[in-house]
């Protein structure tokens, strides 16, 4: 399915695909695992699009982190990453991306992913790409996913995780 859906993206099912009971539970556990704050470090940050899926905030708070929101203004309704200050980026452990976005339906394009990857290169965070709504699109063009964008831009999959869901299909 991944290879068909994401135009030839190749993942090894033995060590690159993990079935879970639900993407909500996986997102919750993943965020807490990556945060793993040490008492002598500054509070780790998770950046989330706003509006957002509540599990992002709950997992961050319960994982000992601090959540910061990138608002999604009109007309694109995509996150405004530039609105976040430098000191937040420096403490960021996880950047959550949701495309197609719930509830706006906005979709990231390849150039948007490039901006995200440039930020990742600069600050070293993990990208959690929530793609549970990947099959809900209306113009006949499948939205590009995080791993697919990485492949198209000649990047590896290191520090990028994609969450998909059977329930939305």
In percent, how much of the chain has pLDDT > 90?
68
In a domain, 49, yes or no: no
In a domain, 105, yes or no: no
In a domain, 143, yes or no: yes
In a domain, 76, yes or no: no
Residues pairing with 129 in the sheet: 97, 162
In a domain, 118, yes or no: yes
In a domain, 23, yes or no: no
The 8 Å CB, 24+ separation contacts for 102-106 are 102/51, 102/53, 102/132, 102/133, 103/51, 104/51, 104/72, 104/77, 105/77, 105/136, 106/72, 106/76, 106/77, 106/78
CATH number at residue 62: 3.40.640.10
In a domain, 154, yes or no: yes
Number of domains in the chain: 1
In a domain, 87, yes or no: yes
- Write the pLDDT tens digit of every residue in 103-140: 888 999 999 999 999 999 999 999 999 999 998 888 88
- Write the pLDDT tens digit of every residue in 7-58: 879 999 999 998 888 888 999 999 989 997 776 678 899 999 998 888 999 9
Q: Give me the domain span that covers residue 90.
A: 1-9+56-68+81-94+111-169
């Amino acid at each position: 399915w991944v290879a068909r859906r994401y135009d030839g993206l190749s993942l090894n099912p033995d060590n690159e695909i993990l079935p879970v009971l639900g993407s909500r539970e996986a997102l919750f556990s993943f965020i807490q695992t990556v945060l793993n704050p040490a008492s002598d470090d500054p509070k780790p940050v998770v950046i989330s699009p706003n509006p957002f899926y509540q599990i992002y905030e709950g997992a961050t708070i319960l994982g000992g982190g601090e959540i910061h929101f990138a608002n999604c203004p009109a007309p694109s309704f995509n996150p405004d990453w530039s609105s976040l200050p430098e000191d937040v980026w420096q403490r960021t452990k996880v950047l959550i991306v949701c495309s197609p976005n719930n509830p706006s339906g906005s979709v990231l394009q390849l150039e948007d992913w490039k901006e995200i990857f440039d930020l990742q290169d600069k600050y070293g965070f993990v990208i959690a790409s929530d793609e549970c709504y990947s099959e809900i699109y209306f113009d006949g063009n499948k939205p590009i996913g995080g791993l697919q964008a990485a492949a198209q831009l000649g990047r590896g999959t290191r520090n990028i995780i994609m969450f998909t869901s059977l329930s939305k299909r």
